[in-house]
Structure 1
Amino acid sequence: TTTYTLTVTDNNGCVGNITSVTVKVHPPVSIASITTSTDTVCQTDEAKIFVDVVGGNGGPYVLNLNDGTTVGSPFTIRPSFTQTYVINATDMCGSPAATDSIRITVIPYPENNFISDIREVCAPGLVSFTELSDDTENLYTWNFGDGGFANIKNPKHQFNNEGVYTVSLTVTTPFGCKTSKTVPDMIIAHPKPIASFIVEPEVVTMMASEVKFTNYSQYASQYFWHFGDGDSSIFVHPRHHYKTIGEYEAMLIAVTNHNCRDTTWRTILVENIVSMYAPETFSPNGDGINDCFRLCGNGIDPHYFKLSVYDRWGNRVYYTENFDVNAECDSCGEGSWDGTNNGDKSLGDRYMPVGLYKWYCEYKDLNNTTYKKSGNIRLIR
């Protein structure tokens, strides 16, 4: 501040009144400080900038950004990228402008794009999820829509119950910027069928080897049977004949329209019950009734069978190694004695006389066990 004094003197040396004036000079306008509520924000998030201006005529001050925008203090910004804000401050007296700046760092929101390896699953079924970004430091919060959650980038989740599930993911950067994404009806979990069946009977013999399979499966539309002996069927309620002795695991695969499957098994035992039947009389008279003597039975190996017939003097009148598993017990043909002395009247062999004859038989069962049996056969007319 300066005081100026004015003294006026005329040519005669007369001095007039002395006048003085004081001129007050304000300090220049200056920006004392620029502060912000935060110098780092998530993209398009809000920040406030505070500008403290001093000097000049003490205000009011006019604040302008570089683009000419007039702002107050504080003013709000929502930056989408990192940038420096330059602020020009002036007063109403036309003082030279003061300039200062502040830099605001912007953290971009994280990527959030995820997929699943399958969309439809059979419950309970496992689904793998993949978040496709290259980020490795972010935090991940999954919600699978069935009450299940996960906190890793690429989780696997098992959907235990049928239904349609909406999946959401929130990705958070270390700074706290979040991106959330929801995919409605992303996963469809179909119900699995229930495979179930019974077998009747569970134990069979070679002479009665048919097994009836009754299907009690639920929610299935297709059925695949495997009987354990190489044979199969696609009928709902099949029947099956087992051809050899042994223990078999019969398997049923029940399948729904959505290709969901369930499998179950039952054990079937095919036993070898060995029996031998020998008639006590036969009458080879050509009337078609009981004309031949034949041994028949169950569980006999047709590849090892020896039958001999002897008269009362020990002469062998008949011998065969033929055992026909399908022949009726009173039938003639290969493996039966027709009452002649060589077992084939078509060759001209003579009929043996009426009387009692002795037979001996050696044979094996299907387990390779050897048996020896003998008995009497009476030839009548």
Structure 2
Amino acid sequence: MLAQVVGPYTGTTRLTNITGPCSPATLAILGDMDFTDGSYEISLGSVFEGTWASGLGYPDGAGDEILCVSLHTEESWMVRLRLSDGSYSNSLLADMTPTVDNDAFNLYDCGAANLNPGWNYDRRVALMDFASFTYGAGLTVVGAEFTLMTDNAGVADPIGMLYISSTPVVTPPTISNNGPLCQGETLELEVDNSTTDATYSWSGPNGFSSTDQNVTIPNFTSAEAGTYTCVVTDTLGVDQVFNLTTTVVINPQPSGNITFATSCEDNAIVLGFSPAPGQTISSYNWNLGSGSPATSSASNPSVTFANGGNYPVSVTLTTSLGCTGVIDTVIPIYSNPVPSFSATPLIQCAPAVFTMTNTTNPADVDTYSWIFNNGINSYGSATTLSPVLPDGIYDVTLTVTSPEGCVGTTTVADYLTVVDQPIADFYWSPGQVLATNTDVSLINASVNATTYEWTIEQGVPASATTEDVQTSLPNGISGNYEVTLVVSSVAGCYDSITKTIEVSPIITLYIPNTFTPDGDEFNQTWQIFIDGVDLYSLDLRVYNRWGETMWENHDAKATWDGTYNGEIVPSGLYTWTLSAKDKFTDEKYEYVGHVFVNR
């Protein structure tokens, strides 16, 4: 920055950033570069304050410090210095005197900033020395305040103020950076300089260069770590040069390995992370993909994958130094074996033993475990015999463990059926078959049977496969006829039974109605003749007219000689009763009649 000149006066810097009662445009003119513009018609008593354009503080040098500049008329200002601690010096009165030059000025109205160009006026100045005022230790002059006091035209026409003291107090600039940094962050290089009048020349790693005072480098990498140099040239007065260096350190990114043990589908697997030596991990953010859960912030999350396969997972890590990085890997998950088996046949009769055959893919099998009906028995081979099973329906479970230790279980409900042995039986109707009617209904009474084979001796038909059979035995011919029934169950087991059907003759009954027990050789006894009944059930009785039993017998071949207790009964009419049971049905037959005893 070149020193500014007002007539014969050369200044170090000017007053700028002025505040006061005028418009912003007018205030900017009061602190311009060349003191050729100004303001007019500003009311007396107006106060203006500003700082030096250099941004620096100045010491109390020998001689005059301040040059006040106005136009045209005689003016006086009240001026005081503004110090670096915010305090002020005592005030001194500045009386303006004209300089030898006469220039053209562009004048601005204080309130409206209206331009009045090309006005020719003398420039008036006042030199001020604040030698009577003692600064505090370490304080410098950073600006000034002036108040418009008098003007022989009634209003003031100020231009500005120039500082003409010696070399300013320059604080050496400092250099800094915002490191240590993590990769990907933004590097900030800064030079703290008390003056705005300086130039900068940066150089650094990876071919870096810049002429800015402060520099940012986004997406910082390890290639950009190292020492940066900035040459600062202070252009104020004596062109001081400062060579500054700063070293930028990059913190290491998270590194290491995701750890885990191989596992099977639907089994929990615990993940971990083993950091590089010297690193400490402060936070974890796991992306577990299709696992359950899908995310976790735990250091050692437990995750389950529903199916076998290769699953990518990753973890975003933050180190204790604040650096973040992503580590990924692929986790192999083994599939559980899918057991399958067969048995032939699936239905047997009790007691039953089934041969069970494993049909699981041999590559998926290391060990086996068979279970019948929820724990009856278990075995450990590929092909095995079931335990001896009573009748019932049985679930079968096969559990297979693969070479990788994965377990698969298949249960087939109601897979094996054990039925009781069939029991053949039948009966016929009518229960007593008479020779006069030999049509017979053969009625099945078997248990656990599903098929039937009938063989009927001399029957029509003589064989059948229906459950019940209607047949005819030889008509009119009494005798015994064998019938055989062979049955089988759903499991293919057999049983048979043979029974004999007796065809009975017609009941024949002959009872004489008189006899003559008179001692001759003819017709001396009374005897009945009967056939077709159960002779062992026969009951024959003879009664007199008063109902007294004269004779009783249970033998169809017995004879009555007409006596009672050894005495001959009187001649007359006697009543007899006869009862007997059917040979087959125990049906009771009863007969009543009379017999005449004639002497």
Normalising by structure 1, we get a TM-score of 0.46
Normalising by structure 2, we get a TM-score of 0.32
Q: Work out which structure has the larger RCO, using CA pairs closer than 8 Å and 6 or more positions apart in sequence.
A: 1
